[in-house]
Structure 1
């Protein structure tokens, strides 16, 4: 395992990326022990504080296990840790908002189609409850962003595809962090809450009627409109 000196402003992020590259390339395997903080800092020519911060970040992502008195080890990677890593990467890429919106549009259009094919009565009830919450927020002149997120995630759950559900969860978490202010402005626009509610109602109806093409078309139209609103 070759460790080269790092020269960058965001030292711990570079350390995180370097270790992740070793894991994905297979140079580091689950169960392998990493060098100590002191050794790692000397070989990378960075501070021990930066190494410690990187280790903590990777532990939060589920990629490392820090055992007190024993050392730091590579954990077995599972779908949860991969999705957590995706959330981390998306969150750090603060200038990629438009790309994030594009990914969401591409993904959710197919999600809507699959939901129309696979949704069971319980799934439909969950989607409908989120829609009802949106309507109640609309009547009380409240921002309906939480019900909005619940609606879209309920559709993802209706696909019964675990990877899609994890992807949607990662995207939803990142959207909430990076677009919080923009989402508030979106819902405060004139007639926008009512328009968004009607668009969601049309999507739900297409899913309930088991019409995949219609569901995907309505989802695309909705997300394209949202994307255009962010660009104003």
Structure 2
């Protein structure tokens, strides 16, 4: 019999699970407004960043609706249909992460093809600035900023595809890919490769070349997968340079 070490959850995952449990028990119902982040942090005895991250994750899964200026509300989706993806966040093995990468290549490659025809010139310019800001963040060792900018770039492309179902699937897969980003948004040599890949993606988008853009996204995700697998095969532990504001 093989026993494996028990891996602890992050604080944000514990908060998310607590909120899901409350939804399942009927303590939180569809349409109900959640208490403000500050109040939830006090109630759960955690930091506000953990609460913010948990709410954002539940929003990506469709469990919580974030309405700017109004607050956060429980959505009307059936939580039972969405439990499995969130539970997988606890521990994804290498083979499972490779399956996620395979799914991301198909989904985000297709999304990038669609987004190529829908992104505005202003959005493409913002993507160019995003890459410059990410390189600057690396120079000052700002890994939180790098993760934030990585999320922004991919989500800008995802949101521009114009298909809400593809958006939900892509966001759910990216949520589950957090374990790989813990590594691939910290190591400088990997980041330089990522920035180069991002530039190729954005250049193809600027050229309005859907096939080229989709291929650039596919190659980028393939590179990230290779970096992650190489890191795991080397027997290295996940970098410690993470905090409660870690991206999902």
Q: TM-score range by the shorter chain?
A: 0.5 to 0.7
Cα distance change, pair 190–117 in 1 and its aligned pair in 2 (3 A): same
Cα distance change, pair 65–91 in 1 and its aligned pair in 2 (3 A): closer
Alignment of 1:46-85 (within 5 A): 56-58=22-24, 80-81=62-63
Q: Distance in 1 between matches of 2:78 and 2:228?
A: 26
Q: Distance in 2 between matches of 1:65 and 1:133?
A: 39
CA displacement at 1:145 relative to structure 2: 2.0
More helix by share: 1
**Deviating 4+ runs (over 6 angstroms):** 83-86
CA displacement at 1:162 relative to structure 2: 1.9
Contact 1:118 1:158 in 2 (8 A): yes
Partner of 1:148 in structure 2? 150
Q: Distance in 1 between matches of 2:148 and 2:78?
A: 21
Alignment of 1:57-206 (within 5 A): 57-58=23-24, 80-81=62-63, 88-93=83-88, 94-95=92-93, 96-143=96-143, 144-176=146-178, 179=179, 182-189=180-187, 191-206=189-204
Give unpaired runs (5+ residues) of structure 1: 1-52, 68-78
Give unpaired runs (5+ residues) of structure 2: 1-18, 33-60, 64-76, 231-248
CA displacement at 1:84 relative to structure 2: 7.0
Alignment TM-score, normalising by the size of structure 1: 0.59
Alignment TM-score, normalising by the size of structure 2: 0.56
Q: Distance in 1 between matches of 2:215 and 2:130?
A: 20
CA displacement at 1:136 relative to structure 2: 1.9
Looking at CA atoms only, which structure, 1 or 2, has the larger radius of gyration? Answer: 1
Contact 2:117 2:208 in 1 (8 A): yes
Contact 1:131 1:201 in 2 (8 A): yes
Q: Distance in 1 between matches of 2:189 and 2:213?
A: 23
